[in-house]
Chain A
Amino acid sequence: MALVTTTKGEMDESLLEKKEGSLDNDNESTTWVEYWLDGELVHRSAHVALKKPVTLAAEAASFT
C-alpha cells in the first residue's frame, strides 16, 4: 500500500486517480505527477532537470 501526501492528509494511492506528464527541450527535462480525488487535485509534484548553463563570456587575451 503506497501512501500519497495530499491536501486531505496521507491517502492510499489506490483511492486516487493518477496523471503523469513530461516535457523535454533544450532548456529542461521535466516530469510531474498529479493525484485527483473525485475531480479535485489533491497532490502535484514536479521534477525539473536543468540543462542550460549560465555562461559569462569574458573578453581577454587569457585568464589564469
Chain B
Amino acid sequence: MGQLMTATHNFGVAPIRAGTGVDTFKAALYLKTATVNAATTAYSASNEVSGTGYSAGGVGVTMGTVPTATNSSATAGVAFVTPSASITYTTVTLSTAFDAVLIYNSTQADKAVSVHTFGSQTITAGTFTLTMPANTTTTALIRLATT
C-alpha cells in the first residue's frame, strides 16, 4: 500500500510529472455553508473563506515524512501519511464561519486529497492553527487500509 501512496502503480492514465519529487500540497478553508466532502474532486474557490490576510487557495502543507506501510497479517495492513507540521493561517480576519479544510495537490491540477471538518470558527486579527494527529498506523491523517 505504500507503493500506492507513492504512485508506483498506474492503473489508468498517468498524470504528467515534471520530476520524481514530492508533490506540492495546499490547504484551503471553506465556509460552513459550503459543501465539501468525499465527493469533492478538486480545489475550488467557490465558498472558500475570504478575508484580510487570507489568500485564495490557502497555505502550503508540509509533507516532510514519506508514507509508511505496515502489514499486521498476510492480508491486513495499512499505509499512512500525515503532514509533518501544523497548518497555520497567521494574522487573518475570517468573519464568516468556516468549518472545513480541503487538502489538495497543487502539482496535479489541484486534485483533492482529503476533507477534514471541525466545529465552526471565526478569526479576528488572529491566527488559526490546525494541528495534525500523530503519524501512526491508527491516528495518521490519511490512511489506506485492508482488513
Contact = CB atoms under 8 A, between A and B. Distances in A.
A43 B143 contact: no
Interface residues of B, number: 41
Contact of B141 (A27, A43, A50, A64): A50
B130 A48 contact: yes
B131 A56 contact: no
Chain A, interface residues (CB within 8 Å), range: 20 to 34
Given A62-B77, A63-B4, A50 B130 contact: yes
Contacts of A54: 114-116, 141-143
Interface of A: 5-7, 23, 27-28, 30, 32-34, 41-64
8 contacts: A5-B125, A43-B124, A43-B125, A48-B119, A48-B131, A53-B140, A54-B142, A56-B145
